[in-house]
Amino acid sequence: MPHGLLRVYLGAAPGVGKTYDMLAEGQRRAAEGTDVVIALMEDYGRLPTRRMAQGLETVPRRTLTYRGAEFTEMDLDATLARHPQLALVDELAHSNVPGSRHAKRWQDIEELLDAGIDVISTVNIQHLESLNTVVEQITGIRQQETVPDDVVRRADQIEVVDMSAEALRRRMADGDIYPPDRIEAALSHFFRAGNLTALREIALLWAADRVEEALLRYRHDHGIQHPWSTRERVLVALSGGFEGEALIRRAKRIASRGAGGEFLAVHVARDDGLAGAPPEQLARQRALVEELGGTWHTVSGDTPAKAIVAFARQANATQIVIGASRRGRLRSIFRRGTGEAVVEASGEDIDVDMVTHPAATHGHLLNRRPRH
C-alpha cells in the first residue's frame, strides 16, 4: 500500500488563515473529484472558516471522559474505516486527551499516512520543538504543546501562510480571531507588533531551511554538482593555524550581511593519520564557531584544496573563506598553495575570499574572485 502524502500549512501565529486555507484546498480537491473528509477541524467560532467547511463531509468526533469531564478528539478508527483519499486534520501539535491511542495528534496522522491516506494539517511556528525556548524568550509565553521538527520536515509539502504584523493585529482588533473579551489582552501581550514580526521572520527562515534540504536532496538525486544558492552560505576553511579565529569572524560577518545567512567551518585532517594542527588550537576554534552560531565539520583527504571544495559543493556553499598562504616566496614559485588551488578548483559558481593573516580582523582581502 502506498504511503500517504502530508501537506502542512505553517503560520507565524493564530489567525493568519491556516485552517481556512486547509479547508479551501479541501474544497478545491473535492471539486476535482477527490474523496475528501474533515477528520478534525477547529474553527474557534470564526464564521469565514466555518463557511469554508460547508459541503465537506465531516467524520464525527469521539467523546472521552477524563477526570470527570468530557472532551472530544478526532475519531481515528472511524477515519481509518472511512478511508478517504484525503483527510483534513487541524492542529498538528495538539496533545490528545489521556486515554486516546496516541499521545499526540501528529501520531494519529502518522497512522493515517501509513494507511495510504493523504493528510493536510496545520501548525504554528511556536509549536515546533526546537523553537520552543526561542519563542518563549520573544513572547514571554511557553507553549505546552509541541511537535518534533522532523515530523514537519518530513512533510511532502510545506506552505507558509504569511500575513504582516499590521494586518494580523487589524484582524484581531476587528474580532476576527478571538472573542471580544480577549482582544485587548492579546494585542497587549502575544499579539504585539514586535512579537508578530519576529515570529513571522522565524517562520520564513525555518521554511527556507526546509527549502535548502529539498534542494540538497534534489541535487544529490540528480547528480548536480554546482551549488544552488537560495541564501548566503559561507564556508571557512581552517588549518588550525593562528589565523583561524580571524577567519572565523570574517566568515561570520559575510554570512550576516543578508537575512538567513549561515556559516560553516571545515578542517581537513591528514589521511595518513600523522599529527596535524595542535588539538587545543582546533578546540578553541571549534568553540568560537559554535559560539557564533556556525557548525563545525572535519573531513579527511590527502589534498586539502580538493577536500575543501568537495565539501563546499556538498554543503551548497556560496563562498569559501581561506587564509593566504604562509609559504616563503621561493617555495611559492615552484608550488601552488592551498588557497590558490581552492580558487582554481572552485570554478565559476563559488566565490573565494583569500584573506591575509595580519589584516584578517580588519577585513583586508588579498584576493577576491566575484561570482557573475
Distance in angstroms (rounded) separating the CA atoms of residues 313 and 227:
6
Check whether domain 6-221 has CATH 3.40.50.300, yes or no: yes
Q: Is 6-221's fold the same as 233-369's?
A: yes
User: Does residue 355 have a pLDDT over 60?
Assistant: yes
Exposed e or buried b for every residue in 251-287, given b needs 16+ CB within 10 A?
bbebbeeeebbbbbbbbbbeeeeeeebeeebbeebbe
Quote the CA–CA distance of 58 and 147 in Å, as a whole number.
Answer: 25
Residue 259 has pLDDT above 70, yes or no: no
Q: Of the ranges 93-107, 223-237, 279-293, which is most confident?
A: 93-107
Q: Which of 12-21, 255-264, 271-280, 350-359 has the lowest mean pLDDT?
A: 271-280
pTM for this model (two decimals): 0.62
Q: Which residue has the higher pLDDT, 273 or 253?
A: 253
Q: Is 80 exceeded by the pLDDT of residue 222?
A: no
**Residues 6+ away with beta carbon under 8 Å from 207:** 10, 158, 160
The domain limits of the chain are 6-221, 233-369
Task: State the pLDDT at residue 316.
Answer: 81
Give every CB contact of residue 147 below 8 A, 6+ residues apart in sequence: 92, 93, 104, 106, 123, 127, 128, 129
Task: Read off the pLDDT of residues 343-353 as tens digits, 9 standing for 90 and up.
Answer: 877 776 788 88
Contact 6, 19 (CB under 8 A): no
Average pLDDT, the chain: 84
Give the model confidence (pLDDT) of 270-323 as tens digits: 766 555 678 888 999 999 998 888 899 998 887 888 889 988 888 888 899 998
Of 56 and 299, the one with more pLDDT? 56
Where do we find the cell 582554481? 344
C-alpha distances out from residue 174 to 61, 108, 169, 307, Å? 31, 35, 9, 58
Contacts for 211 with CB less than 8 Å, ≥ 6 apart: 230
- Annotate the chain with three-state secondary structure: CCCCCEEEEEECCCCCCHHHHHHHHHHHHHHCCCCEEEEECCCCCCHHHHHHCCCCEECCCEEEEECCEEEEECCHHHHHHHCCCEEEECCCCCECCCCCCCCEHHHHHHHHHHCCCEEEEEEEHHHEHHHHHHHHHHHCCCCCCCECHHHHHCCCEEEEECCCHHHHHHHHHCCCCCCHHHHHHHHHCCCCHHHHHHHHHHHHHHHHHHHHHHHHHHHHHCCCCCCCCCCCEEEEEECCCCCHHHHHHHHHHHHCCCCCCEEEEEEEECCCCCCCCCHHHHHHHHHHHHHCCCEEEEEECCCHHHHHHHHHHHCCCCEEEEECCCCCHHHHHHCCCHHHHHHHHCCCCCEEEEECCCCHHHCCEEEEECCC
Q: What number is the average pLDDT over the span 216-236? A: 70
- Which grid cell is 151? 515530523
Closest to 61 in 3D by CA, of 80, 76, 49: 76
Quick check: 311 and 266 in contact, CB under 8 A? yes
Choosing among 3.40.50.620, 3.40.50.150, 3.90.550.10, 2.60.40.1840, the CATH entry for 233-369 is: 3.40.50.620
pLDDT score, position 105: 97
State the pLDDT at residue 272: 60
**Worst-scoring range by mean pLDDT, 163-172, 174-183, 192-201, 339-348?**
339-348
Mean pLDDT computed over 33-47: 94
